[in-house]
Chains A and B, each alone.
Chain A
């Protein structure tokens, strides 16, 4: 079974600074999807960024980028130029590429605080 671990329960960063959230995972599959989801106080889960394991290039979405290290099974999220609206719980998640499988395996989450 796949597992996802987020070792940082809480992180804080000054507004406009850069912060990196860590995530490691365990799987025996060679191909899979990895995600970072954001859950603000409203509780609505929002997809921040995704990475397909077969792609060597790290995904980037505006101020959000990942550092995907497949051999190390590491998938960290970097948020540049942090904004107050980035404050939320961030979840790292894994999904198998098996056709039809929509099950997400989540890490325990990291609560990110942005200090003005």
Chain B
């Protein structure tokens, strides 16, 4: 079974531009979460999508947005890039985030990340 894939793996942008990152979950997984990893702030939760709906959101400005398609693939968009947006962006997918007591534990599987550099 293929793992979580993220594209592109590396990206260089300039301040003020916008960027779109893509995440393809493991086949059959319906939940996709996004995290930002920086040396200063560590790993921070951005948002989570399940069945095309944003279900959870972290404390990031509105410049950060996302969406999920019917095939569970997800994209995140950052508008008006700032230098501080330079980071590794990780996505994680899980099978089914509902009814864990019945269905059992749903492990999150991470992708390799997209390294975004803002100049």
A residues with CB within 8 A of B:
33, 42-47, 50, 52, 91, 97, 99-109
Contact = CB atoms under 8 A, between A and B. Distances in A.
A43 B112 contact: yes
Interface size on B, as a range, is 20 to 34
A103 B110 contact: no
A105 B31 CA distance: 17
Interface string B34-48: 010000001111001
B98 A99 contact: yes
A100 B43 contact: no
Interface of B: 31, 33, 35, 42-45, 48, 50, 55-56, 58, 88, 90, 92, 94, 97-100, 105-108, 110-113
B41 to A, nearest CB: 9
A104 B35 CA distance: 9
20 contacts: A44-B110, A44-B111, A44-B112, A45-B90, A45-B110, A99-B98, A99-B100, A100-B56, A100-B97, A101-B55, A101-B56, A101-B97, A102-B31, A102-B33, A102-B55, A102-B97, A102-B108, A104-B45, A104-B108, A105-B45
